[in-house]
Amino acid sequence: MSDTFQMIAAPHTPFRPDGGLNLDVIGKQAELFLRQQIDGVFCCGTTGEGLSMTTAERVQMTERWVKAAAGKLRVIAHVGHNCQRDAADLAAAAKAAGANGVAAVAPHFLKPNTVEELTAFFAPVAAACAPLPFFFYDIPSLTNVRLSAAAFLDHAGGAIPNLGGVKFTNIDVITLQECLTAGGGKYEVFFGCDEMLLGALAVGVRRAVGSTYNYSSRLHREVIAAFEAGDVDIAADLQRKSVRMVRVLEKFGGPVRAGKAVMRLFGVDCGPVRPPLLPMSEAEVTALHAELVALGALNEPG
């Protein structure tokens, strides 16, 4: 497994003003990511409002991302669903489209109570995309499924032959370390909390998926470079800037709602959010842009 750090962006799904998909924007997103040294995309996840989309729309999104990536970006498609059959259908469609991997959140209405139940739910989903790697998307702050991702990897490894690892959007650094060593370290662990990247680097993480990487990959690359050079104080200062950026985004509704507005600064209009999120007013957008530009955490627009 390569030691080169992989930075994966979680792209926003572009919608038209009427709420429909605006697939033509995806090419612009892909071009932006390539200029910003992004290594891949995690489409139809939380940032992409995947669970606010229809199954057909999610298939369309994955197909278009694979086309736009043109083999230059790794494409991991999120297929999580409360319905196992729909999740498996999405996984099969992602494989057919040419995605490089598939991920899924745990079902979160009727929740699994054990790793055995979670494994049984995921097994046919993973089988539908085999031999592509299948990743558990652990995000307990939203699913409220608080099973140990490391325990899942240990148990599911024998039942899911194409288990690739975990997208760990979780602040439990103890379990993160256990994920990194599960199966003798054979699994890929993608860290999903941008504002804690430095802590993840310190315990050995070499892959990350983030919403703010859409527009602040430079800052986070600088965190990585400073850490690798042994300049921990500089890395910590840069990470604190990332934290301040996230706090600004939270003030305006979080990285999904506010993040879409930030994309306008880069000439990529991803349109409105979908309900239950509310659109930002122009006054909010102006104030958001002013705060983030003053902070100096964003990539150069050009």
Residues annotated as part of the active site: 137, 167
Alpha helices in the chain (DSSP H): 25-35, 55-69, 84-97, 115-129, 140-143, 149-156, 173-181, 197-202, 213-228, 232-251, 254-263, 282-295
Q: Residue 191, SS3?
A: strand
Radius of gyration of the chain (CA): 18
Closest Cα partner for 183 from 209, 214, 160, 211? 160
User: d(Cα 218, Cα 46) in Å, to the nearest integer?
Assistant: 22
Q: Which residues contact 202 (CB under 8 A, 6 or more apart)?
A: 227
Mark residue 94 as left, alpha or beta (left: phi above 0; alpha: psi -120 to 50; beta: remaining).
Answer: alpha
Q: Are 260 and 215 in contact (CB under 8 A)?
A: no
Beta-carbon count within 10 A of 108 CB: 16
User: d(Cα 93, Cα 119) in Å, to the nearest integer?
Assistant: 21
